[in-house]
Amino acid sequence: MSRVSAVSTFPVAYPEPNDNNNQRYLLFVRLETDDGLTGWGEAITQFPAATRAAQAMVEGMAEIVVGSDPLDNVAIWRRLKDATWWYSYRGGAAAFALSAIDVALWDLKGKILGQPLAVLLGGAQRDRVPAVASTHAFNSSLEYEAERHGRYVRDEGYIGVKIGMGKRGDARLGYDVRRDIDFVALLREAVGPEALIMMDRGQSLVWDLDAAIRRVSAFEQHGLKWIEEPFEPQDVNAFHKLRAHVTTMIAAGEREWDARGFAEVIATGVVDVIGCDVGRAEGITGTLAVIAQVEQANLWFNSHAWSSAVNTAASIALSASTSRCMFQELKPDENPMQHELVETPFAQTAGWIEVPRGPGLGVEPLEHVLRKYAWR
Ligand SMILES: [Mg+2]
Protein backbone atom coordinates (compact mmCIF):
# COMPACT_ATOMS: atom_id res chain seq x y z
CA MET A 1 0.00 0.00 0.00
CA SER A 2 1.26 3.49 -0.89
CA ARG A 3 1.27 6.15 1.82
CA VAL A 4 1.81 9.84 1.31
CA SER A 5 5.20 10.60 2.86
CA ALA A 6 5.77 14.27 1.93
CA VAL A 7 3.85 17.37 0.87
CA SER A 8 5.80 20.15 -0.91
CA THR A 9 4.71 23.53 -2.26
CA PHE A 10 6.03 25.38 -5.30
CA PRO A 11 4.81 28.96 -5.63
CA VAL A 12 5.60 30.45 -9.04
CA ALA A 13 5.41 33.86 -10.73
CA TYR A 14 5.46 33.95 -14.52
CA PRO A 15 4.73 36.30 -17.42
CA GLU A 16 1.58 35.36 -19.34
CA PRO A 17 1.87 36.21 -23.06
CA ASN A 18 -1.89 35.67 -23.47
CA ASP A 19 -2.41 38.47 -20.93
CA ASN A 20 -0.02 41.08 -22.38
CA ASN A 21 2.84 39.48 -20.37
CA ASN A 22 1.19 40.36 -17.10
CA GLN A 23 2.85 38.59 -14.15
CA ARG A 24 0.64 35.86 -12.74
CA TYR A 25 1.02 33.54 -9.77
CA LEU A 26 0.23 29.88 -9.13
CA LEU A 27 0.76 27.40 -6.35
CA PHE A 28 1.87 23.87 -7.24
CA VAL A 29 1.69 21.01 -4.77
CA ARG A 30 3.73 17.82 -5.00
CA LEU A 31 2.81 14.74 -2.98
CA GLU A 32 5.33 11.95 -2.60
CA THR A 33 4.62 8.41 -1.46
CA ASP A 34 6.80 6.06 0.54
CA ASP A 35 7.12 3.82 -2.53
CA GLY A 36 8.51 6.56 -4.75
CA LEU A 37 5.49 7.97 -6.62
CA THR A 38 4.79 11.67 -7.07
CA GLY A 39 1.45 13.37 -7.65
CA TRP A 40 0.95 16.95 -8.77
CA GLY A 41 -1.73 19.55 -8.22
CA GLU A 42 -2.11 23.27 -8.84
CA ALA A 43 -4.20 26.11 -7.46
CA ILE A 44 -4.98 29.09 -9.68
CA THR A 45 -4.20 31.64 -6.99
CA GLN A 46 -3.30 34.41 -9.51
CA PHE A 47 -2.21 36.98 -6.94
CA PRO A 48 0.78 37.14 -4.54
CA ALA A 49 -1.16 37.26 -1.28
CA ALA A 50 -3.51 34.45 -2.35
CA THR A 51 -0.51 32.32 -3.32
CA ARG A 52 1.17 32.87 0.04
CA ALA A 53 -2.06 32.16 1.93
CA ALA A 54 -2.74 28.97 -0.04
CA GLN A 55 0.84 27.84 0.54
CA ALA A 56 0.40 28.26 4.31
CA MET A 57 -2.90 26.35 4.11
CA VAL A 58 -1.27 23.43 2.26
CA GLU A 59 1.52 23.32 4.84
CA GLY A 60 -1.11 23.21 7.57
CA MET A 61 -3.11 20.48 5.83
CA ALA A 62 0.01 18.33 5.36
CA GLU A 63 -0.41 16.65 8.75
CA ILE A 64 -3.74 15.20 7.61
CA VAL A 65 -2.41 14.14 4.21
CA VAL A 66 0.91 12.57 5.29
CA GLY A 67 0.44 8.91 6.16
CA SER A 68 -2.80 8.58 4.21
CA ASP A 69 -3.49 6.18 1.34
CA PRO A 70 -4.08 8.13 -1.95
CA LEU A 71 -6.72 5.54 -2.92
CA ASP A 72 -8.81 7.08 -0.11
CA ASN A 73 -8.66 10.44 -1.91
CA VAL A 74 -12.30 11.44 -1.46
CA ALA A 75 -12.20 10.52 2.24
CA ILE A 76 -9.07 12.67 2.60
CA TRP A 77 -10.88 15.51 0.76
CA ARG A 78 -13.70 15.27 3.31
CA ARG A 79 -11.25 15.27 6.23
CA LEU A 80 -9.53 18.38 4.87
CA LYS A 81 -12.85 20.14 4.36
CA ASP A 82 -13.98 19.27 7.87
CA ALA A 83 -10.70 20.49 9.34
CA THR A 84 -11.11 23.94 7.74
CA TRP A 85 -14.68 24.45 9.00
CA TRP A 86 -13.85 27.77 10.64
CA TYR A 87 -11.67 29.48 8.02
CA SER A 88 -13.00 27.99 4.78
CA TYR A 89 -16.75 28.13 5.20
CA ARG A 90 -17.89 28.66 1.59
CA GLY A 91 -14.39 29.11 0.21
CA GLY A 92 -11.26 31.19 0.39
CA ALA A 93 -7.56 30.40 0.45
CA ALA A 94 -8.11 26.98 2.03
CA ALA A 95 -10.22 26.03 -1.01
CA PHE A 96 -7.21 26.77 -3.21
CA ALA A 97 -5.11 24.49 -1.00
CA LEU A 98 -7.78 21.77 -0.98
CA SER A 99 -8.00 22.02 -4.79
CA ALA A 100 -4.27 21.54 -5.33
CA ILE A 101 -4.02 18.66 -2.84
CA ASP A 102 -7.11 16.96 -4.30
CA VAL A 103 -5.75 17.13 -7.86
CA ALA A 104 -2.42 15.69 -6.66
CA LEU A 105 -4.25 12.84 -4.86
CA TRP A 106 -6.18 11.93 -8.02
CA ASP A 107 -2.88 12.02 -9.92
CA LEU A 108 -1.36 9.61 -7.40
CA LYS A 109 -4.42 7.37 -7.45
CA GLY A 110 -4.13 7.08 -11.23
CA LYS A 111 -0.44 6.28 -11.00
CA ILE A 112 -1.04 3.61 -8.34
CA LEU A 113 -3.82 2.00 -10.39
CA GLY A 114 -2.07 2.56 -13.73
CA GLN A 115 -5.13 4.38 -15.10
CA PRO A 116 -5.70 7.85 -16.59
CA LEU A 117 -7.91 10.31 -14.76
CA ALA A 118 -10.61 9.95 -17.41
CA VAL A 119 -10.99 6.28 -16.47
CA LEU A 120 -10.97 7.05 -12.74
CA LEU A 121 -13.86 9.46 -13.38
CA GLY A 122 -15.85 6.53 -14.72
CA GLY A 123 -14.92 6.82 -18.37
CA ALA A 124 -14.92 9.66 -20.88
CA GLN A 125 -17.90 10.46 -23.10
CA ARG A 126 -15.41 11.10 -25.90
CA ASP A 127 -11.66 10.73 -26.48
CA ARG A 128 -11.20 14.29 -27.70
CA VAL A 129 -12.83 17.64 -27.06
CA PRO A 130 -13.28 20.65 -29.41
CA ALA A 131 -10.81 23.45 -28.68
CA VAL A 132 -11.38 27.19 -28.45
CA ALA A 133 -8.63 29.84 -28.35
CA SER A 134 -9.10 31.82 -25.15
CA THR A 135 -7.12 35.02 -24.80
CA HIS A 136 -7.20 38.69 -23.94
CA ALA A 137 -7.23 41.58 -26.40
CA PHE A 138 -4.31 43.98 -25.89
CA ASN A 139 -3.58 45.85 -29.15
CA SER A 140 -5.12 49.30 -29.73
CA SER A 141 -6.03 48.38 -33.32
CA LEU A 142 -9.37 46.61 -33.66
CA GLU A 143 -8.30 45.36 -37.09
CA TYR A 144 -5.13 43.89 -35.58
CA GLU A 145 -7.05 42.07 -32.84
CA ALA A 146 -9.72 40.78 -35.23
CA GLU A 147 -7.07 39.49 -37.62
CA ARG A 148 -5.02 37.90 -34.82
CA HIS A 149 -8.06 35.98 -33.63
CA GLY A 150 -8.99 35.16 -37.19
CA ARG A 151 -5.64 33.40 -37.57
CA TYR A 152 -6.27 31.17 -34.57
CA VAL A 153 -9.34 29.87 -36.39
CA ARG A 154 -8.27 29.96 -40.04
CA ASP A 155 -4.61 28.97 -39.71
CA GLU A 156 -4.48 26.99 -36.48
CA GLY A 157 -7.86 25.25 -36.57
CA TYR A 158 -9.50 26.37 -33.33
CA ILE A 159 -13.29 26.12 -33.56
CA GLY A 160 -13.72 29.57 -32.06
CA VAL A 161 -12.39 32.32 -29.83
CA LYS A 162 -13.15 33.65 -26.39
CA ILE A 163 -11.91 37.16 -25.80
CA GLY A 164 -11.39 38.91 -22.49
CA MET A 165 -12.27 42.60 -22.49
CA GLY A 166 -11.05 45.33 -20.14
CA LYS A 167 -7.65 43.70 -19.76
CA ARG A 168 -4.08 45.03 -19.67
CA GLY A 169 -2.65 46.63 -22.76
CA ASP A 170 -4.13 49.15 -25.17
CA ALA A 171 -7.13 47.33 -26.65
CA ARG A 172 -9.61 49.06 -24.31
CA LEU A 173 -12.40 46.72 -25.30
CA GLY A 174 -15.48 46.93 -23.10
CA TYR A 175 -15.35 50.69 -22.55
CA ASP A 176 -17.12 52.11 -25.60
CA VAL A 177 -20.31 50.38 -26.80
CA ARG A 178 -20.03 51.51 -30.44
CA ARG A 179 -16.37 50.49 -30.67
CA ASP A 180 -17.08 47.09 -29.07
CA ILE A 181 -19.82 46.46 -31.63
CA ASP A 182 -17.46 47.44 -34.46
CA PHE A 183 -14.90 45.01 -33.08
CA VAL A 184 -17.28 42.05 -32.97
CA ALA A 185 -18.35 42.81 -36.57
CA LEU A 186 -14.68 42.78 -37.67
CA LEU A 187 -14.07 39.66 -35.62
CA ARG A 188 -16.94 37.78 -37.29
CA GLU A 189 -15.51 38.64 -40.70
CA ALA A 190 -12.06 37.48 -39.61
CA VAL A 191 -13.08 34.15 -38.06
CA GLY A 192 -15.66 33.25 -40.69
CA PRO A 193 -19.34 32.39 -40.38
CA GLU A 194 -19.05 29.11 -38.46
CA ALA A 195 -16.56 29.89 -35.69
CA LEU A 196 -17.82 30.36 -32.14
CA ILE A 197 -17.39 33.79 -30.59
CA MET A 198 -17.55 34.28 -26.84
CA MET A 199 -16.99 37.68 -25.21
CA ASP A 200 -15.96 37.96 -21.55
CA ARG A 201 -16.39 41.22 -19.65
CA GLY A 202 -13.31 41.84 -17.54
CA GLN A 203 -13.77 42.29 -13.80
CA SER A 204 -12.33 45.85 -14.05
CA LEU A 205 -15.25 46.99 -16.25
CA VAL A 206 -18.58 48.21 -14.92
CA TRP A 207 -21.38 47.91 -17.46
CA ASP A 208 -24.68 49.55 -16.72
CA LEU A 209 -27.70 47.60 -17.77
CA ASP A 210 -28.54 49.72 -20.77
CA ALA A 211 -25.01 49.49 -22.20
CA ALA A 212 -24.88 45.76 -21.57
CA ILE A 213 -28.19 45.23 -23.39
CA ARG A 214 -27.03 47.35 -26.32
CA ARG A 215 -23.75 45.45 -26.57
CA VAL A 216 -25.16 41.97 -26.31
CA SER A 217 -28.10 42.72 -28.65
CA ALA A 218 -25.67 43.99 -31.29
CA PHE A 219 -23.17 41.15 -30.70
CA GLU A 220 -26.08 38.74 -31.23
CA GLN A 221 -26.44 40.01 -34.79
CA HIS A 222 -22.94 38.67 -35.36
CA GLY A 223 -23.70 35.27 -33.89
CA LEU A 224 -22.31 35.64 -30.36
CA LYS A 225 -22.30 32.22 -28.67
CA TRP A 226 -22.19 33.56 -25.12
CA ILE A 227 -21.57 36.64 -23.05
CA GLU A 228 -19.51 35.88 -19.95
CA GLU A 229 -19.94 37.59 -16.58
CA PRO A 230 -21.60 40.72 -18.01
CA PHE A 231 -22.06 41.87 -14.41
CA GLU A 232 -20.50 41.12 -11.04
CA PRO A 233 -21.75 37.76 -9.72
CA GLN A 234 -23.87 39.28 -6.95
CA ASP A 235 -25.78 41.58 -9.34
CA VAL A 236 -28.41 38.94 -10.04
CA ASN A 237 -31.12 41.49 -10.92
CA ALA A 238 -29.02 42.81 -13.79
CA PHE A 239 -28.57 39.25 -15.09
CA HIS A 240 -32.37 38.82 -15.02
CA LYS A 241 -32.98 42.05 -16.90
CA LEU A 242 -30.35 41.30 -19.54
CA ARG A 243 -31.82 37.84 -19.97
CA ALA A 244 -35.21 39.40 -20.73
CA HIS A 245 -33.73 41.33 -23.65
CA VAL A 246 -31.39 38.88 -25.39
CA THR A 247 -31.34 35.28 -26.51
CA THR A 248 -27.56 34.82 -26.29
CA MET A 249 -26.40 32.38 -23.63
CA ILE A 250 -25.00 33.85 -20.44
CA ALA A 251 -21.94 32.39 -18.71
CA ALA A 252 -20.93 32.87 -15.07
CA GLY A 253 -19.75 30.97 -12.01
CA GLU A 254 -15.96 31.03 -12.20
CA ARG A 255 -15.62 32.91 -8.91
CA GLU A 256 -17.57 30.29 -6.93
CA TRP A 257 -15.73 27.97 -4.57
CA ASP A 258 -17.98 25.09 -3.69
CA ALA A 259 -21.04 23.05 -4.60
CA ARG A 260 -23.35 25.31 -2.63
CA GLY A 261 -22.07 28.45 -4.34
CA PHE A 262 -22.64 26.84 -7.73
CA ALA A 263 -26.09 25.68 -6.62
CA GLU A 264 -26.98 29.29 -5.90
CA VAL A 265 -25.75 30.42 -9.31
CA ILE A 266 -27.80 27.69 -10.98
CA ALA A 267 -30.86 28.54 -8.89
CA THR A 268 -30.90 32.10 -10.29
CA GLY A 269 -32.07 30.58 -13.58
CA VAL A 270 -30.21 33.23 -15.56
CA VAL A 271 -26.99 31.38 -16.32
CA ASP A 272 -26.66 28.90 -19.17
CA VAL A 273 -22.96 28.12 -18.99
CA ILE A 274 -21.35 27.39 -15.64
CA GLY A 275 -17.68 28.36 -15.50
CA CYS A 276 -15.70 26.37 -12.94
CA ASP A 277 -11.98 26.09 -12.23
CA VAL A 278 -10.65 22.79 -10.88
CA GLY A 279 -7.79 24.73 -9.26
CA ARG A 280 -10.25 26.74 -7.17
CA ALA A 281 -13.53 24.84 -6.82
CA GLU A 282 -12.20 22.19 -4.41
CA GLY A 283 -10.32 20.19 -7.02
CA ILE A 284 -11.50 17.32 -9.15
CA THR A 285 -13.73 16.02 -6.34
CA GLY A 286 -15.37 19.44 -5.99
CA THR A 287 -15.74 19.93 -9.75
CA LEU A 288 -17.47 16.55 -10.14
CA ALA A 289 -20.14 17.80 -7.74
CA VAL A 290 -20.54 20.91 -9.90
CA ILE A 291 -20.82 18.86 -13.10
CA ALA A 292 -23.52 16.72 -11.50
CA GLN A 293 -25.57 19.85 -10.80
CA VAL A 294 -24.97 21.23 -14.30
CA GLU A 295 -26.19 17.97 -15.82
CA GLN A 296 -29.24 17.87 -13.60
CA ALA A 297 -30.18 21.41 -14.63
CA ASN A 298 -29.45 20.76 -18.33
CA LEU A 299 -26.95 23.59 -18.42
CA TRP A 300 -23.42 23.65 -19.83
CA PHE A 301 -20.14 23.10 -18.02
CA ASN A 302 -17.11 25.16 -19.01
CA SER A 303 -13.79 24.58 -17.33
CA HIS A 304 -12.03 27.83 -16.57
CA ALA A 305 -8.58 26.42 -17.35
CA TRP A 306 -6.29 29.39 -17.78
CA SER A 307 -3.23 28.40 -15.79
CA SER A 308 -0.83 25.45 -16.08
CA ALA A 309 -0.71 22.14 -17.93
CA VAL A 310 -1.55 20.44 -14.60
CA ASN A 311 -4.87 22.30 -14.48
CA THR A 312 -5.46 21.72 -18.20
CA ALA A 313 -4.87 17.96 -17.87
CA ALA A 314 -7.48 17.69 -15.11
CA SER A 315 -9.83 20.05 -16.94
CA ILE A 316 -9.80 18.13 -20.23
CA ALA A 317 -10.62 14.88 -18.44
CA LEU A 318 -13.49 16.61 -16.62
CA SER A 319 -14.74 18.25 -19.82
CA ALA A 320 -14.66 14.89 -21.59
CA SER A 321 -16.54 13.21 -18.74
CA THR A 322 -19.79 15.05 -19.48
CA SER A 323 -21.85 15.55 -22.59
CA ARG A 324 -22.84 18.94 -21.13
CA CYS A 325 -19.56 20.57 -22.17
CA MET A 326 -19.18 22.28 -25.54
CA PHE A 327 -15.42 22.68 -25.73
CA GLN A 328 -12.15 23.13 -23.91
CA GLU A 329 -10.51 26.56 -23.71
CA LEU A 330 -6.79 26.73 -24.46
CA LYS A 331 -4.43 29.71 -24.34
CA PRO A 332 -3.33 29.94 -27.98
CA ASP A 333 0.06 31.68 -27.61
CA GLU A 334 3.03 29.77 -26.21
CA ASN A 335 3.43 30.41 -22.51
CA PRO A 336 5.68 29.22 -19.66
CA MET A 337 3.16 27.24 -17.59
CA GLN A 338 1.89 25.25 -20.57
CA HIS A 339 4.74 25.02 -23.06
CA GLU A 340 7.83 25.05 -20.82
CA LEU A 341 6.37 23.19 -17.87
CA VAL A 342 5.86 19.79 -19.48
CA GLU A 343 7.77 17.64 -21.96
CA THR A 344 4.79 17.37 -24.34
CA PRO A 345 2.59 20.47 -24.11
CA PHE A 346 -1.12 20.27 -24.84
CA ALA A 347 -1.93 21.24 -28.40
CA GLN A 348 -5.06 21.13 -30.47
CA THR A 349 -5.10 19.67 -33.96
CA ALA A 350 -7.76 20.76 -36.43
CA GLY A 351 -9.88 22.01 -33.56
CA TRP A 352 -9.57 18.99 -31.29
CA ILE A 353 -7.66 18.30 -28.11
CA GLU A 354 -7.05 14.71 -27.05
CA VAL A 355 -7.97 13.50 -23.58
CA PRO A 356 -4.71 12.60 -21.74
CA ARG A 357 -4.08 8.83 -21.68
CA GLY A 358 -1.12 8.50 -19.30
CA PRO A 359 -1.66 7.32 -15.70
CA GLY A 360 -3.13 9.97 -13.40
CA LEU A 361 -3.12 13.42 -14.98
CA GLY A 362 -0.88 12.20 -17.78
CA VAL A 363 1.50 15.14 -17.41
CA GLU A 364 4.62 15.56 -15.28
CA PRO A 365 5.76 19.10 -14.43
CA LEU A 366 9.50 19.66 -14.93
CA GLU A 367 10.91 20.71 -11.58
CA HIS A 368 13.68 22.81 -13.13
CA VAL A 369 10.95 24.93 -14.75
CA LEU A 370 9.21 25.34 -11.37
CA ARG A 371 12.59 26.43 -9.94
CA LYS A 372 13.14 28.85 -12.83
CA TYR A 373 9.83 30.61 -12.06
CA ALA A 374 9.99 30.05 -8.28
CA TRP A 375 8.50 32.90 -6.28
CA ARG A 376 10.05 33.17 -2.82
MG1 LIG B 1 -14.12 34.47 -17.52
> Digits of tens for pLDDT over the chain (376 positions)?
999 999 999 999 999 999 999 999 999 999 999 999 999 999 999 999 999 999 999 999 999 999 999 999 999 999 999 999 999 999 999 999 999 999 999 999 999 999 999 999 999 999 999 999 999 999 999 999 999 999 999 999 999 999 999 988 999 999 999 999 999 999 999 999 999 999 999 999 999 999 999 999 999 999 999 999 999 999 999 999 999 999 999 999 999 999 999 999 999 999 999 999 999 999 999 999 999 999 999 999 999 999 999 999 999 999 999 999 999 999 999 999 999 999 999 999 999 999 999 999 999 999 999 999 999 8
Ligand 1 center–CA 318 separation, angstroms: 18
Ligand 1 center–CA 59 separation, angstroms: 29
Pairing mode of beta strands 300-303, 38-46: unpaired
Contacts of 337 (CB under 8 A, 6+ apart): 12, 14, 16, 26, 307, 308, 309, 373
- The DSSP line for 39-68 is EEEEEEEESHHHHHHHHHHHHHHHHHHTT-
List residues, by chain if needed, whose CB lies under 5 Å from ion ligand 1.
200, 228
Ligand 1 center–CA 136 separation, angstroms: 10
Ligand 1 center–CA 2 separation, angstroms: 38
Domain boundaries, the chain: 4-114+365-372, 119-354
Give dist(CA 73, CA 285) in Å, integer: 9
Question: Contact at 8 Å (CB) between 264 and 233?
Answer: no
Class of domain 119-354 (CATH, top level): alpha beta
Ligand 1 center–CA 35 separation, angstroms: 40
Give the CATH fold of the 4-114+365-372 domain.
Enolase-like; domain 1 (3.30.390)
Ligand 1 center–CA 200 separation, angstroms: 6
For 306-339, b where at least 16 C-beta lie within 10 A, e where not — what string? Answer: bbbbbbbbbbbbbbbbbebbbbbbbbbeebbbbb
Type of residue numbered 328: Q
Ligand 1 center–CA 254 separation, angstroms: 7
Question: Contact at 8 Å (CB) between 180 and 137?
Answer: no
Ligand 1 center–CA 118 separation, angstroms: 25
Query: Of 218, 161, 168, nearest to 348 (Cα)?
Result: 161
**pTM of the predicted model, to two decimals?**
0.98
